[in-house]
Amino acid sequence: MNRIYFDNAATTKVDDEVLKAMIPFFTQNYAIASSIFSHEDGLIAQEALESARAFILDKLNAKDYRCIFTSNPTESNNLALKGIAFSKKKGNIVISKIEDLSIINTCRFLQKKGFEIRYIGVNNEGLVNLNELNNLIDDNTILVSIQHVNQEIGTLQDIISIGEICKQKNCAYHCDATFSFPFFDIDLSKYNIDLLTIGSDTYYGPKGASALIAKNSIELEPLITGGYQEYNLRAGTQNIPAIVGMQKAIEIFDKKIYDYIKNLKDYFLEKINQIPHIRINSPKMSHPGIVNVTFLFIEGESLTLRLNLRGVSVITGSACFSKSLEASHVLLACGLTHELAHGSIRFSFGKFNTLKEIDQTIEYLKEDVAFLRNLSPLYKED
Amino acid sequence: MESFESHFFYPIKDTVLDPDGIGVRENIEFNAKIIFYVKTKQGIIVAIDYKVKACPVAIAVASFLAKTFKNKTIENALSIDENFLNSNLVGIPKERLECANSAIEAFKEALINSKGEK
């Protein structure tokens, strides 16, 4: 059975071109970059590493920044938050209520260590209130961390205005751009972003590579100590094949891919309206490939599993009778009731998906939603 | 052993329009609900129907109960517990046992109510 993969916001298939660029660094040029002073092989690795670093900084127009390679966006986010916090030693951090768990749970950890965490709410589209942000920042604020694109509903934050506020208030701004870059251009010479997290595996690059782009003037404490790699901020052998793959994935990502994915999303949004009693939770201004939909009167998990058994991969966040399983913190922060949050499913499209796959999935959805509603005590036929 | 996935995807049940007993379990906060409707005759369960707005486990367990205890005695069905379920239905995740138990409780309540009405 050919599966239909609509979970591209979680991770994507590696592009063939990316894989091709990576393979020599597994099979031929497999030396580690820090061997530069000992042999020629290390020099090749070092050149590949520095070439990727320079490419990424150039792509982001980041002249006074370091590109610190890490293993994944969670690590980059940890380095940004803990790195600043342990360097400053005290103060408060402002984050939105819809950040990724790598931000929220890192802040919970820092709270236990004595830092104050201030949470900024969002409206029903997931947008942070800029006035509230302005009021939350004070002289003791050491960092604001607000993402660019939301991982569940795709909301696109106004990171230019957020950066302006942080600059005026003289506090550092960290932006988690894991789900936005390279779908959206980020120009660090114009945006007031001090720290930026980017990933690799949500745009056809490999897992195992990410970067924290940090302004030179920002002091960070390392999370991992050992060797002198990555500006002494992230010890350990760099994952050269993954970093090379990340560079290639950025290189080959273009507007055509963006437009293709956006077209899939628009087509899906048009077709999904054939199903009654739904609610689109993603705002109009959002990631080109992310759509979050609530199917009223049924559990998202039951629908997800039925789709999975038919060969369609999507995700949900629901709880049922089990108190240990909570509904999506993003949807609840956007003001959805538990009922609406539990009936939600995220569809995330990618460049390897087709319109035909969407047609097939819509047919499955029509059948499965009707089946589950027929079973639901909350549903009364029109 | 029966398959959780099979019961979830192809749930088995009767249609009971005039039940002798109804049992309900509800989680108001999460808006999850299970309702069982049973028809009995001289201590025997002759038909089992249900409505479920809950996770796949709740649906699969409801179907399993409907299949297993049709034409069995009420007393026999009232003796079921989590262990019986674990021994006969494969694939229930541990963290969802609460959902499975909610279905069992609703079923038992329907059976007890059916005895009271007779």
Instruction: Kindly state whether residue A314 falls inside one of the protein's structural domains.
Output: yes
Are both A133 and A45 inside the same structural domain? yes
Distances (CA, A) of A368 to A240, A280, B8, B58: 45, 18, 12, 17
Q: How many residues does chain B have?
A: 118
**Are both A211 and A225 inside the same structural domain?**
yes
Q: Where are the alpha helices (DSSP H) in chain A?
A: 16-22, 24-27, 40-59, 73-88, 101-112, 130-136, 159-168, 229-232, 240-252, 255-272, 300-310, 329-333, 338-342, 355-375
In terms of CA atoms, which chain A residue is nearest residue B101? A321
User: CA-nearest residue of chain B to A296?
Assistant: B53
Tell me the shortest Cα–Cα distance from A372 to chain B, in angstroms. Answer: 8
Q: Are residues A242 and A265 in the same domain?
A: no
Tens of pLDDT, residues A242-252: 999 999 999 99
Bond preceding residue A283 cis, omega within 30 of 0: no
B82 near A CB under 8 A: no
Q: Is the ipTM reported for this complex over the cut 0.90? A: yes
pLDDT of residue A36: 59
* A243 and A221 housed in the same domain: yes
User: Which residue in the block uniquely carries the two structure tokens 């705002």?
Assistant: A283
Interstrand relation of A315-316 and B21-27 (parallel, antiparallel or unpaired): unpaired
Gap between the Cα atoms of A196 and B51, Å rounded:
49
Task: Confirm whether A175 is domain-assigned.
Answer: yes
Are residues A46 and A193 both part of a single domain? Answer: yes
* B31 close contact with A: CB closer than 8 A: yes
The last residue of one of the domains, among A252, A274, A303, is: A252
* Residue A69: φ, ψ to 5°: -75, 135
| Same domain? A166 vs A24 | yes
CATH number at residue A280: 3.90.1150.10
Give the residue numbers of A annotated as catalytic, written as ranges. 320
Domain boundary among the residues A230, A252, A274 is at: A252
For residue A339, being part of any structural domain is answered with yes
pTM: 0.93
CATH code of the domain covering residue A41: 3.40.640.10
- Read off the pLDDT of residues A169-205 as tens digits, 9 standing for 90 and up: 999 999 999 999 999 999 999 999 999 999 999 999 9
Q: Which pLDDT belongs to residue A117?
A: 98
Q: Residue B118 has what pLDDT? A: 45
In this structure, are A266 and A244 located in the same domain? no
Which of these, A363, A377, A373, A268, lies nearest to A307 by C-alpha position? A363
Averaged pLDDT of chain B:
92
- Domain holding A369, by residue range, is 254-375
Q: Tell me if A193 sits within 8 A of A58, measured CB to CB.
A: no
CATH code at position B33: 3.90.1010.10
Listed residues A232, A252, A272: the one ending a domain? A252
Count of structural domains within chain B: 1
- Write the pLDDT tens digit of every residue in A218-258: 999 999 999 889 999 999 999 999 999 999 999 999 999 99
> Which residues face B89 on adjacent strands?
B2
A47, part of any domain: yes
Nearest Cα neighbor of A365 from A317, A293, A286 is: A293
> Do A160 and A191 reside in the same domain of the chain?
yes
Lookup: tokens for B4: 């959780």
User: Which of A321, A364, A375, A380 is the best mutation test for B, with the most CBs of B within 10 A?
Assistant: A321
Name the domain count of chain A: 2
Separation of alpha carbons A46 and A49, rounded Å: 5
A204: left (phi over 0), alpha (psi -120 to 50) or beta: left
In a domain, A10, yes or no: no
Question: For residues A203, A204, A207 and A211, what is the CA-based torsion angle, rounded to 10 degrees?
Answer: -40
Q: Does B95 touch chain A (CB under 8 A)?
A: yes
Q: What's the sign of the alpha-carbon dihedral A320, A11, A279, B56? A: negative
Q: How does DSSP classify residue A325?
A: S
pLDDT digits (tens, 9 = 90+) for B14-64: 999 999 999 999 988 778 899 999 999 999 999 999 999 988 999 999 999
The 8-class DSSP code of residue B12 comes to -
Q: Are residues A220 and A258 in the same domain?
A: no
Q: Of A62, A18, A76, nearest to A210 (Cα)?
A: A76
Q: Does A363 score more than 70 pLDDT?
A: yes
Residues of the domain holding B73:
2-117
